[in-house]
Amino acid sequence: MNNQINDAPLTLRDVAAAAGVSLATADRVINGRPGVSAKTALKVHEAVQRLGFRPLAAAAELARSRSWRFAVVLPGGGNRFMLDIADNIRAQADWFRARRIAVEIVETDVFDADTLAAELSMLPGRFDAVALVALDHPRIRAAIDDLVEGGMAVVTLVSDAPSSRRQHYVGIDNIAAGRTAGSLVGRFLGPPRIGEAGKVEPGGAVGIVTGSGSLRDHAERRFGFGQVLAEEYPHLIRLPPVEGRDDPDRNRDLVRRMLADSPDLVAIYNTGEGSVGIGEALAEAGLARKILCVGHELTPATRRMLLDGTFAALVAQDPGHEVRSMARVLHALVTGQEIVAAQEHIRVQVILRDNLP
Amino acid sequence: MNNQINDAPLTLRDVAAAAGVSLATADRVINGRPGVSAKTALKVHEAVQRLGFRPLAAAAELARSRSWRFAVVLPGGGNRFMLDIADNIRAQADWFRARRIAVEIVETDVFDADTLAAELSMLPGRFDAVALVALDHPRIRAAIDDLVEGGMAVVTLVSDAPSSRRQHYVGIDNIAAGRTAGSLVGRFLGPPRIGEAGKVEPGGAVGIVTGSGSLRDHAERRFGFGQVLAEEYPHLIRLPPVEGRDDPDRNRDLVRRMLADSPDLVAIYNTGEGSVGIGEALAEAGLARKILCVGHELTPATRRMLLDGTFAALVAQDPGHEVRSMARVLHALVTGQEIVAAQEHIRVQVILRDNLP
DNA sequence: CTGTTAGCGCGTTCAC
DNA sequence: GTGAACGCGCTAACAG
């Protein structure tokens, strides 16, 4: 096992000397530029291997002296999580500046395919790379493919368009997130009661509040959640999902009705935002902490409800991690560096009252 | 709200010109070096503010042209988690090299204060910065203070020595980790049964397996765990902790005895490594998945036991995050940059079968 | 195909 | 207290 990491400070000059070529030739080989004979290239490669040379990023960065324009396309109209994403981008200003990257946040109606596609079509020429909160829709897929075709680096953020040609997706596996929520609900409710005849008694009803049936991430979460409940907790009865468009007021009304219609309600899972409306409806009915709630994303509202026990757990993704990953990936894509997959994996977090950050 | 980030590429030259001083003077002010009159400094500061200047990291890095030697002191003798830490350090080799940092991994007996203190005393002169897995012991505290006194940057890794003068701790809040484990156990076991007289029935016994009573991180986890159980799940009976020194074989024997002694055992919490021994003892007794297990850290063994249901959940810290944080923090400390606290916070992760990375 | 050379933006001697 | 000038390691334009 080698416990010495990076011993001798090597330079391209050392490599060139060792290979018996000029600086420029060594540089061409290192960066895979054309105009070098096969055997010269081989000599250089050997020298690189033998000496264990790696270019000094800072020097390359400086010499390249080229600047980049990134666009980040986010849904307009302040959902808390997206505001956090935007804030984190601003917080990374120094990181971007240190790499000569100008970032523009473009707000648009991400939920309307035509609007989003139109916005995307305005990007080429003005930007070198784009991160976007995607909609999984044929028109958007085509728009993304056009950008890639035009030579831009494209990554999807938070919500993916898997069949497009985007180079990377920065976000969580939403099926896994839904499954995680399902396991939390199933386990927190405890094992089923066994009736007199030795039969499993029904464990009560589980309500599902979702933003919209047509958003891919919400649909995936619902799918994962349903999978786990059906497989592992068949005694729980899933109510048909209700759609509140991530709006607290709508969610409040939906939960009021749910409480009226389903006296056997034991848990609620919210696949999206607007959890605060659920908390309000439960509080009104005097059922806060009596009905198990699991939701998504850490916001001031969900934090409060976690602390007061209204919500038992949150399944979350870290907007800070996502923004930093997006920045690294786009930078790597435009500068032609490799991306370290392991480092860019975005985790599905479970947050209880006790491990709140 | 400003959606434009980093518009004009500014240089120190621009600032100097705007302030009506030379490059060198502007540089002195920016880097807080002496030899500049108060009013000249003010002019420069104003120009910096007005133009919104930030030095280009790459150029600074290059010009500084100084290299660093970091030591990372880890426990020798392959505990899986520490091997992961070491592997992640090697995986960061390029990052270190790009910053002219030579890293040496020093293996020693971290659990013996004298050995560790002796090892630490060998470091000054040979290294600019140290990260160490600390022992919270007076002799180690003194050794750390000596290093800091001697001008080295020192951070503790995974296990802290809070009362020493180390500049930073890279690791999780172990009390929070223990509390999280406690909440998982309490909730997963379900609410207490209510007896005929309306009284809460005892919920069974909870076993606690720990590495050693004298390791601070284990002790803190036990403390947090006990806190939550006592406060929120008083119907559960905590058995006295048993010490297996993180060794699977010892843990196996301890759990065998625990099973024999406590027929009412319903859950086991392992504060440290060697969880595989617990799984073995349960499997022998045909009790795997019947007794709830919660442990720490994701390793091939714990991953397997999570998948097969022997363990219900793991509380974990990400060695990759920790190594990267350690690298950033030490680099910031030696180069005198600020550290972004929010980014360096290491999260207490909850891992279920469904959100395994 | 290959080599020479002038910067990239900042730190750091030196003079003044 | 201040400024001029060189160099960090690499890239890119140009010359051969």
Express each pLDDT in B244-259 by its tens digit. Answer: 989 999 999 999 999 9
Alpha helices in chain B (DSSP H): 12-19, 23-30, 38-51, 57-64, 80-91, 93-98, 113-121, 138-149, 174-189, 216-232, 248-261, 275-284, 300-307, 319-335, 341-344
The minimal CB distance from A355 to the residues B90, B180, B355 is found for B180
Instruction: Report percent pLDDT > 70 for chain B.
Output: 99
Q: Region A183-204: what's the mean pLDDT?
A: 85
Q: Which residues of A touch B190 (CB under 8 A)?
A: 189-191
Amino acid at B236: L
Q: Region A134-153: what's the mean pLDDT?
A: 94
Are residues B180 and A355 in contact, defined by beta-carbon separation less than 8 angstroms? yes
Q: Which residues of A touch B348 (CB under 8 A)?
A: 354-355
* Predicted pLDDT of residue B2: 63
CA of B344 to C1' of C4 (A): 46
- The better pLDDT of the pair B55, B178 is held by B178
The minimal CB distance from B4 to the residues A101, A104, A345 is found for A104
Instruction: Report percent pLDDT > 90 for chain A.
Output: 67
What does the mean pLDDT of chain A come to?
A: 91
Q: In this predicted model, what pLDDT tens digit does every residue of B265-293 receive, in sequence order? A: 999 999 999 999 999 999 999 999 999 99
Residue B104 to residue B205: CA distance in whole angstroms:
46
* Predicted pLDDT of residue B103: 94
Q: Region B73-78: what's the mean pLDDT?
A: 85
- Interchain proximity A2–B90, CB inside 8 Å: yes
- Interchain proximity A355–B347, CB inside 8 Å: yes
Is the per-residue pLDDT at A1 higher than 60?
A: no
* Predicted pLDDT of residue A106: 95
Show Cβ contacts of residue A7 under 8 Å, excluding neighbours closer than 6 positions: B102
DSSP helix/strand/coil, B54: coil
Q: How deeply is B264 buried, as exposed, middle or buried, from its count of CB atoms within 10 A (0-12, 13-18, 19+)?
A: exposed
DSSP A347: P
User: Which pLDDT band, with edges at 50, 70 and 90, does A56 fall under?
Assistant: confident
Is the C-beta of residue A17 closer than 7 Å to nucleic acid chain D? no
Level-2 CATH architecture, domain B174-316: 3-Layer(aba) Sandwich (3.40)
CA distance B227 to chain A (A): 11
* B:254-313 Cβ neighbours of strand D under 7 Å: none
- Number of cross-chain residue pairs from A and B with Cβ atoms under 8 Å apart: 166
* Predicted pLDDT of residue A98: 74
- Interchain proximity A59–B57, CB inside 8 Å: no
Q: In this predicted model, what pLDDT tens digit does every residue of B192-246 receive, in sequence order? A: 877 777 787 778 999 999 988 777 889 999 999 999 999 999 999 999 999 998 9
Q: Which nucleotides of C are covered by protein (CB under 7 A)?
A: 1-5, 7-13
What does the mean pLDDT of chain B come to?
A: 91
The minimal CB distance from B103 to the residues A5, A105, A355 is found for A5
The minimal CB distance from B350 to the residues A102, A105, A352 is found for A352
Show Cβ contacts of residue A218 under 8 Å, excluding neighbours closer than 6 positions: A174, A210, A211, A212, A271, A272
CATH superfamily of A12-64: lambda repressor-like DNA-binding domains (1.10.260.40)
The kind and range of the H/E element at B108 are strand B101-108
Is the C-beta of residue A40 closer than 7 Å to nucleic acid chain D? no
* Predicted pLDDT of residue B310: 98
Q: How deeply is A127 buried, as exposed, middle or buried, from its count of CB atoms within 10 A (0-12, 13-18, 19+)?
A: buried
Is the per-residue pLDDT at B331 higher than 60?
A: yes
Q: Which residues of B touch A88 (CB under 8 A)?
A: none
Evaluate whether A67-171+319-345 and A174-316 have a shared fold.
Answer: yes
Tokens 């099926």 found at: A175
* Predicted pLDDT of residue A7: 67
* Predicted pLDDT of residue B7: 66
Q: Region B169-182: what's the mean pLDDT?
A: 98
- Interchain proximity B228–A354, CB inside 8 Å: yes
**Shortest-distance nucleotide from A13 CA to C1':** D9
Q: Which residues of A touch B103 (CB under 8 A)?
A: 4-6
Lowest mean pLDDT among A20-29, B5-14, B135-144: B5-14
- Interchain proximity B348–A342, CB inside 8 Å: no
- Which fold does the domain B67-171+319-345 belong to in CATH? Rossmann fold (3.40.50)
B162 φ, ψ to 5°? -60, -35
CA of A61 to C1' of D4 (A): 26
Pick the residue from chain B with its C-alpha nearest to A343: B320
Is the per-residue pLDDT at A220 higher than 90?
A: yes
Instruction: Name the residue ranges covered by the structural domains of chain B.
Output: 12-64, 67-171+319-345, 174-316
* Predicted pLDDT of residue A199: 81
Residue B169 to residue B134: CA distance in whole angstroms:
10
User: Which pLDDT band, with edges at 50, 70 and 90, does A144 fall under?
Assistant: very high
Query: What does the radius of gyration of chain A's CA atoms come to, in whole angstroms?
Result: 26
- The better pLDDT of the pair A343, A241 is held by A241
Residue B130 to residue A211: CA distance in whole angstroms:
49
Lowest mean pLDDT among A33-37, A164-168, A282-286: A33-37
* Predicted pLDDT of residue B30: 86
Is the C-beta of residue A102 closer than 7 Å to nucleic acid chain D? no
Chain centroid offset of residue B315 CA = 13
* Predicted pLDDT of residue A341: 84
**What is the DSSP pairing of strand B313-316 with strand B265-270?**
unpaired
- Interchain proximity B98–A58, CB inside 8 Å: yes
**Shortest-distance nucleotide from B64 CA to C1':** C11
Reduced 3-state DSSP string for A33-55: CCCCCHHHHHHHHHHHHHHCCCC
Q: How deeply is A115 buried, as exposed, middle or buried, from its count of CB atoms within 10 A (0-12, 13-18, 19+)?
A: middle
- Interchain proximity B354–A224, CB inside 8 Å: yes
